[in-house]
Amino acid sequence: MKAFSALLDRLAYTPSRNDKLRLLADYFASTPDPDRGWALAALTDGLFFRLPLRRILGEMIEARVDPVLFGLSRDYVGDTAETIALIWPGRDASEPAPRLDDVVQTLKRAMPTEVPGLLSSWLDGLDATERWALLKLLTGALRVGVSARLAKTALAEWSKVPLAEIEEVWHGLRPPYTELFAWLSGSGPRPHVGTTATFRPLMLSHQIEDRELALIDPKNFVAEWKWDGIRVQAVHQGGERRLFSRTGDDISGAFPDVVVGLPPGVVLDGELLVMRGNEVAPFNDLQQRLNRKSLTPAMLKSHPAHIRLYDMLLHGEEDLRPLPFVERRARLEAWHAKAKPPRTDVSAMLGFGSIAELEKLWAGARETGIEGLMLKRRDSPYLAGRPKGHWYKWKRAPLTLDAVLMYAQRGSGKRSSYYSDYTFGAWRDGEGGEPELVPVGKSYFGFTDEELLKLDAFVRNHTVDSFGPVRQVEPRLVFEVAFDSVHRSSRHKSGVAMRFPRIHRIRWDKPAEEADRLETLVRMIVE
């Protein structure tokens, strides 16, 4: 636990991506198996112990610390694990700290009634940093600024094995990844994942710049719409059907209606949508189905899933990725016409003969509720990652709204001491005709660290009420909020939901009464 605790602690206070990569690479190089494998699992897919930790930790801390004191401390610190780690009384240093493998294996074997005693004994023997790391490990919410891709990139930098090769075998392996580390360290063969339904790294695009747009030649590029869903990979191999998100998460359970009809022997790239009567539904409708543990027949009927296919990576035992895009595309169209898989279609190619025609297509994207355009080089092989010069995305210009800050909440991790999560609202006529603010969105990014200090000070100096960790703020500060689209929503008091809102500019100079009205936002909805 000591090495893992030190790693998490340093990662939490290291803002630089390159420095994080170096810390991770050093840890993987110096830590023995299986500890480094469990750490890798915690940083990527998480270690799901399926324990009622909220109840267990609540009962444990209540027996040791006054509940009122703990509640006040939790509100101040902003993180439950950190609060318990700091407030846990005493330390028995007579026993050495357990290894990471000891913790994982012991909890895997333990009966539910044994867990509180095990946790108490470990917490008693650890210092504050080690207690924090243990609790973060158990909850799965590390919040140290490390994504799964960053952890895999660190593996690639340490081992000198290309990231694409690591991702090719990743989803066929399980923690603690001893086969993976043997291969990466040169002491074992490349892991064999066979023909099982595993994830293949996606090919991604770059946002096109003006100078690059001017160089687009219709003879070398094709265009297609950039649909507003989520990128997925549909796989049916080795007798298994799977649907993966762009990061490789298995989301098959949430979308059984599209998985069940996949013909065998294919790996397909596409966009997951909700479609009704051949019309693409707003992204908010797709969100209703994301991350659900169970689906009702009513939800399956009212929010039917659909995959709009872009590409074919594998067909039977043939790997199509080295082929040019236009050849893969032809193979996809021929296969789809023959197989006719339900709840799928093929994204249409858009012809253009000049940049002026392309700009006209792009300009019309918003009116049709489409996110923008994709431009793909005709001769591009399917390359993992984000290779330059092959695929471009040309997203439509964002919408903006002047909204008023209403509520603020502390952030997490290195922001746990700052009010950095902001809910903002627009004006509407309330009862009696008096103007009132109604929440229309929430965001926690789009501002600099320097601006965060000013915003935190504003929240503290203009708080008018508080509800646990949330502060209600005097309606004086205006945010210019950028967002991709807006949709009707019965889940929100305002009746609308923004897609990907972010704070574009802080309007310190603008009076709050001049901020936009809800009707302005409603008019931006594309029905």
Per residue of the chain (527 residues), give pLDDT as tens. Answer: 889 999 999 998 888 889 999 999 999 999 999 999 999 999 987 776 777 777 888 888 888 888 888 888 877 777 788 888 888 886 666 677 889 999 999 988 888 889 889 988 888 888 889 998 998 888 887 878 888 889 999 999 999 999 888 988 888 888 999 999 999 999 999 998 766 788 998 999 999 988 899 989 999 999 999 998 999 999 999 899 999 998 888 899 899 999 999 999 999 999 999 999 888 988 878 888 886 767 889 999 999 999 999 999 999 989 999 999 999 999 999 999 999 999 999 999 998 999 999 999 998 886 666 889 999 999 999 998 889 999 999 988 888 999 999 999 988 767 878 899 999 999 999 887 889 999 999 999 899 889 999 999 999 999 999 887 789 999 999 999 999 888 888 888 899 989 889 999 999 989 899 999 999 999 888 76
> Based on the domain organization, do 273 and 236 belong to the same domain?
yes
Q: Which residue among 356, 373, 393 closes a domain?
A: 393
> Based on the domain organization, do 292 and 381 belong to the same domain?
yes
CA angle 454, 457, 463 (to 5 degrees): 135
Helix (H, G, I), strand (E, B), or coil: what is residue 181?
helix
> Based on the domain organization, do 315 and 423 belong to the same domain?
no
Q: Which residue among 97, 116, 139 closes a domain?
A: 139
Here the tokens at position 220 are 């070398």
Residue 223, domain extent: 206-393
> Based on the domain organization, do 375 and 424 belong to the same domain?
no
Contact yes or no for 312/330 (Cβ under 8 A): no
Q: What CATH number does residue 384 fall under?
A: 3.30.470.30
The answer to whether residue 287 is domain-embedded is yes
Residue by residue, DSSP assigns 68-123 as: HHHHHHHHHH--HHHHHHHH-----TTSPPPPHHHHHHHHHH--GGGHHHHHHHHH
Helical spans, DSSP H, in 444-504: 449-461
> Based on the domain organization, do 381 and 408 belong to the same domain?
no
> Based on the domain organization, do 358 and 410 belong to the same domain?
no
DSSP assigned state of 525:
-
Count of beta carbons in the 10 Å neighbourhood of residue 492: 15
Active site residues: 226
Task: Compute the distance between CA of residue 283 and CA of residue 487 in angstroms, rounded to an integer.
Answer: 8
Task: Compute the distance between CA of residue 518 and CA of residue 527 in angstroms, rounded to an integer.
Answer: 17
Contact yes or no for 308/227 (Cβ under 8 A): yes
DSSP assigned state of 364:
T
Helix (H, G, I), strand (E, B), or coil: what is residue 354?
coil
The answer to whether residue 170 is domain-embedded is no
Task: Compute the distance between CA of residue 48 and CA of residue 27 in angstroms, rounded to an integer.
Answer: 22
> Based on the domain organization, do 354 and 416 belong to the same domain?
no
Identify the H or E element spanning 153: helix 148-159
> Based on the domain organization, do 8 and 123 belong to the same domain?
yes
> Based on the domain organization, do 213 and 350 belong to the same domain?
yes
End-to-end CA distance of the chain: 54
Here the tokens at position 49 are 């112990």
> Based on the domain organization, do 6 and 131 belong to the same domain?
yes
- Cis peptide upstream of residue 52 (ω within 30 degrees of 0): no
Give the count of domains, the chain: 3
pTM: predicted TM-score of the whole model, two decimal places: 0.73
Contact yes or no for 403/475 (Cβ under 8 A): no
> Based on the domain organization, do 363 and 230 belong to the same domain?
yes
The answer to whether residue 79 is domain-embedded is yes
> Based on the domain organization, do 56 and 82 belong to the same domain?
yes
